Chain A
């Protein structure tokens, strides 16, 4: 008994000593107190140097937490109990959060740098007048492929993915909207289509893709493609940029039938505590020089026109990531289809996944 008591006492004392130590560390790092701003962002989606610079310039301490899906992020914010000052969701999530009153309006007078954003990316349907969100990055969905491994396929058409040469040799990203959307696009339908016949047709067509699909994966897709585990993959352009940074032999293309145009925008969640700091942060990120540096680090396409001018021609002139007007016209933004339709999309995707080779 004595021994038991002693051991458990020791454990408690050790834990409290550790708690004390952590508190000390937190304080010395400035993580405690009111002078902080909590950013809730995708993993590795900002240049860490910029966070340091923002801390220096503003005198605020940044607490950085990451999420791995819009849904996980929304769940956390919806449940309350958190105090995130900034989040960076995708456009359909912004629409949803707006509907559920999870966002605070952004005071445009506090973000003068908004003037640098390209007009094309402002006042879009998911957030008219940019009342709640400010563009951060944008991009497309397309095919990343290894030219030596795909024969004469160019992926100018989605149908190239169905080619027999690619048997068991393509990866798909694990997203219902993306994969079903690809099926719809390849048939010439809109990726926001809600017509049941069209959706079933798309599912039919996708099921014939099964023999070619090696795996349906998440973020590992970058590592796997850079390691040449498959010849081609359906990816977001941002991931493609990172893959091509790792492995220069690879190419990226948006098939001509059309595809998705996506945006990740900065928002202030309704649970924010440091609203002033949040505005400061948004304005800081919109600064052309900062945005240019961030673009170089993250590798996604920047909506910041002034920043684009600061960037190398090699980046800003890259049509793969900054597509011309003609292709852009064929790109569609995901519309909020409502929970029922979305869940139908997910069911169809599940059915597709269940197809055995």
Chain B
């Protein structure tokens, strides 16, 4: 690649990243504004941060958000992975039907999902709160996991499984020793995406929550009536920096681990 071209392509990427991070930088800068609104920077202050750290209710909500995200993503991943394996071994006709049904939730607007889940919980008689929110998050995460895992299954060579079975492996052994290790990257990707969706979801949670139970997105929405209070900016800044450190840290640890192990499907 010639030097000029290299620079141009770098420039393009830099521009994309600048635009992607501009609003976030904007939020972060204003989290230090003593003016109290996101208009007109008046002076530097850390008061919004101390506000966040003193607000126990906010802390509870943040923890709730993480609990829901982790639990729902984990449970959805388990159900989704087995669902994907089952779908993979179906005949192609029923497979198409199942896949179409699977994708319905991915492409439905959140409002429809939220409203129909609300009706559903009412009919079944589930109290609105932790349980209803957790169930909904599991429900809308499952198809995403399936969609992330299926391509990996398709890549897999079926002769591997046949070989394992010829050697007398039980179905459970085939799954745990052959299939799962092979589709591991897909499983992680599915978990990761489910986590993203759960953390990001506002509309579905808004419908199915109640009794004082709240997640961060819903809380932000109700606090936003006044124009967003800057303590929310401060909180977002903290969470964002935390995740960035986590992601970069994870990336380097992963790279260090990978080098000696050199890939390979060890379970």
Contact = CB atoms under 8 A, between A and B. Distances in A.
Are chains A and B touching directly in their complex (CB below 8 angstroms)?
yes
Nearest to A42: B225
A1 B39 CA distance: 52
Contact of B122 (A15, A38, A80): A80
B132 A81 contact: yes
Kindly name the residue among B122, B128, B210 whose own CB sees the greatest number of chain A CB atoms within 10 A.
Answer: B210
B12 to A, nearest CB: 33
B70 A14 contact: yes
A2 interface: yes
Given A1-B177, A223-B37, A22 B227 contact: no
Nearest to A11: B74
A223 B39 contact: yes
A18 B66 contact: yes
B221 interface: yes
A29 B125 CA distance: 29
B74 A82 contact: no
Interface in A1-39: 1-4, 8, 11-12, 14-15, 18-19, 21-22, 25-26, 29, 31, 38
Given A15-B74, A43-B225, A219-B225, A82 B67 contact: no
Contacts of B59: 25
Given A22-B60, A223-B227, A2 B267 contact: yes
B226 A1 contact: no
B255 interface: no
Contact of B223 (A1, A8, A43, A63): A43
A246 interface: yes
A31 B212 contact: yes
A322 B225 CA distance: 24
A192 B125 CA distance: 38
Interface string A200-225: 00000000000000000001101100
Interface string B230-257: 0000000000000000000000000000
Contact of B180 (A1, A67, A83, A84): A1
Contacts of A2: 267
Nearest to A218: B225
B78 A8 contact: yes
A58 interface: no
B181 interface: yes
A66 to B, nearest CB: 4
Contacts of A227: 39
Contact of B71 (A15, A43, A79, A84): A15
B212 A38 contact: yes
A100 interface: no
Interface string B43-75: 000000000000011011001101100110110
A12 B184 contact: no
B70 A15 contact: yes
Nearest to B81: A4
B33 interface: no
Contact of A82 (B60, B128, B206): B128
Given A11-B74, A76-B128, A81-B127, A63 B122 contact: no
B33 to A, nearest CB: 14
Interface in A74-116: 75-76, 79-84
Nearest to A229: B39
A220 B132 contact: no
Nearest to B267: A1
B258 interface: no
Contact of B63 (A8, A11, A18): A18
B176 interface: yes
Contact of A81 (B66, B126, B206): B126
A65 interface: yes
B117 to A, nearest CB: 11
B74 A12 contact: yes
Nearest to B195: A11
A258 to B, nearest CB: 28
Contacts of B116: none
A258 B103 CA distance: 52
A2 B39 CA distance: 52
Contacts of A222: 226-227
A226 to B, nearest CB: 8
Most chain B C-beta atoms within 10 Å of own C-beta, residue among A22, A63, A83, A227 = A22
B142 interface: no
Indicate the member of B78, B184, B212, B226 with the most A CB atoms within 10 Å: B212
17 contacts: A1-B176, A3-B184, A8-B74, A11-B70, A11-B73, A18-B70, A22-B67, A31-B60, A43-B225, A44-B226, A65-B212, A68-B221, A79-B118, A82-B127, A223-B39, A226-B227, A246-B37
Interface of A: 1-4, 8, 11-12, 14-15, 18-19, 21-22, 25-26, 29, 31, 38, 42-44, 63-68, 72, 75-76, 79-84, 219-220, 222-223, 226-227, 242, 246
Interface of B: 37-39, 56-57, 59-60, 63-64, 66-67, 70-71, 73-74, 77-78, 118-119, 121-122, 125-128, 132, 176-177, 180-181, 184, 187, 206, 210-212, 214, 221-227, 267
| A-B CB proximity, top 10 nearest | A1-B267, A43-B225, A223-B227, A66-B222, A63-B212, A82-B210, A81-B128, A219-B225, A43-B222, A11-B74
